Amino acid sequence: MTPERVLQYQAKGAGFTLSYATELVSDEILEFLFGLAKEREIVKWMHRMQAGEVVNLSENRAALHTAMRLKKGAKHLSTAALQAAELAWGQLDALSDFLPTVSGYTDIVQVGIGGSSLGPEAIYHALKAYAIPGRKAHFIANIDPDQTAAVLQSVNLAKTLFVIVSKSGSTLETVTSEAIIRSALIKAGLDPTLHLIGVTGKGSPMDEKTRYRALFYIWDFVGGRFSVTSMVGAVVLAFTLGIETFFHFLDGAYAMDGVALKDSLQDNLPLLGALIGVWNRSFLGLDTVAVVPYAEALARFPAHLQQLDMESNGKGSDRQDSKVTYPTGPILFGEPGTSCQHSFFQLIHQGTTPVPLELIGFTTSQRGYDLKVNGTTSQQKLVGNMLAQSLALALGKPEGGFPGNRPSQLLIGQRCDAHTLGALLAYYEHKVAFQGFFWNINSFDQPGVELGKHLATRMIGALAGSQVAPLEEAFARLLGSASSTR
């Protein structure tokens, strides 16, 4: 490791610097990977995706989440992208008109699961330092009644809005939670239609304006895990942070969308990150990746990335429905540093299986509340820890049983604000899409999730009507019937 390598192996874009000197790559490896990327036309596939061509082949759909943050007046748009953007602009205009009508409310509860919860929750927690005074967001995702009860008991129902989010309008967990919430509002002597907002697909079972105070729409070309910048995230984030802050968030994502279209590897941060990830996973055979943000504000961000990455690229079949012969999506996990240095970092430093690290950090604190202790601020100590971990993994200490030569990278921004966070979100969305294009898998469907939903419905039917659920008997019956129909 030399200072020259550190300076050479970095790239910049949309306010971020990606430093990858501590990855196990060389000029020759990067040239090799970029050559394969050109053969697979993965940048062209990114252009096709953002233009609205069909890239979700199994469902014959576009994946136009990027159109949700297109600027009005943007030039050189395809017809499909422009039409999608116009739908988004119309919904944002409607949201801007709606927000002043609920100025007396203090709390908002997002009710949805998977992509209808993880992304919006991660972004809210990351930006709540900028929230409108007196405004708070809460999230109900799990069908566990204890989560619903805990949220309902923590808010003043008379001053709380509930955003019910389900593209299909029939998601089991969401429909169940909505029924409980309606019942609680009625018991409190409140009119549910004054407190409930719907976010759903056109024509879904939820598409009934009389059921909700306001109704907003999402579309099939925006997948759940890619939907944060659509109305899935817009309502809860604009209510708590303000519509202008939400627009800054969209602007950041839009900036990274443009970076992802660049042809040069050094100018295309998501492409560079994707190819290094492919090298670690498919060529070095490393099964996992840990995303560690050195920012407590991003505590929920790894949870969102787990769905984004593993639901997208956790595939064993390619786009032609043939079995792949190489490793695809990694197992992703993460927690904020420095806290996790005192938990799973022991394995990362000395365990028998190398774990690539993606470290996210910011040079400036978010809230500006800090103090010098022993010559340095807490923010300097935080960043210092991040840099030290990367260096320690690379160099090791053979006499102490630290093998070294363990891969990591640094993604560094100035401050965790709305614009920066939008760019960070889009960076990972495009990194995941690029890897899917490289591996020739469909990053935009989730058949494994659908199988689980189908069997859950059957199991719930087997449990219905019993006061004390005979779990073992019900499971045995379902297992037998499922096996007989395979």
What amino acid positions are annotated as catalytic residues? Answer: 311, 342, 453
Work out the number of other CB atoms within 10 angstroms of the CB of residue 210.
6
Phi, psi angle pair for 159, to nearest 5°: -115, 25
User: Using an 8 Å Cβ cutoff, are 330 and 288 in contact?
Assistant: yes
No. of helices (H) and no. of strands (E), the chain: 17, 13
Length of the chain: 486
Q: Residue 408: which of 429, 428, 394, 424 has the closest Cα?
A: 394
Q: Residue 231: which of 202, 205, 259, 211 has the closest Cα?
A: 202
Phi, psi angle pair for 372, to nearest 5°: -75, 125
Tell the residue number behind the tokens 């202790």, with chain if given: 373
Q: Give the tokens for residue 477.
A: 């019956």
User: Using an 8 Å Cβ cutoff, are 236 and 216 in contact?
Assistant: no
Q: What is the C-alpha separation between 165 and 197, in angstroms, rounded?
A: 9
Residues paired with residue 361 on neighbouring β-strands, in sequence order: 412
Q: Give the tokens for residue 283.
A: 């060529």
Please provide the distance, in angstroms rounded to a whole number, between the alpha carbons at the two ends of the chain: 55
Q: Give the tokens for residue 87.
A: 């739908």
User: Using an 8 Å Cβ cutoff, are 75 and 184 in contact?
Assistant: no
Tell the residue number behind the tokens 């509860």, with chain if given: 109
Q: What are the distances in angstroms from CA 129 to CA 110, 185, 332?
A: 19, 30, 27
Element (H, E) at 160: strand 160-166
Q: What is the C-alpha separation between 167 and 197, in angstroms, rounded?
A: 13
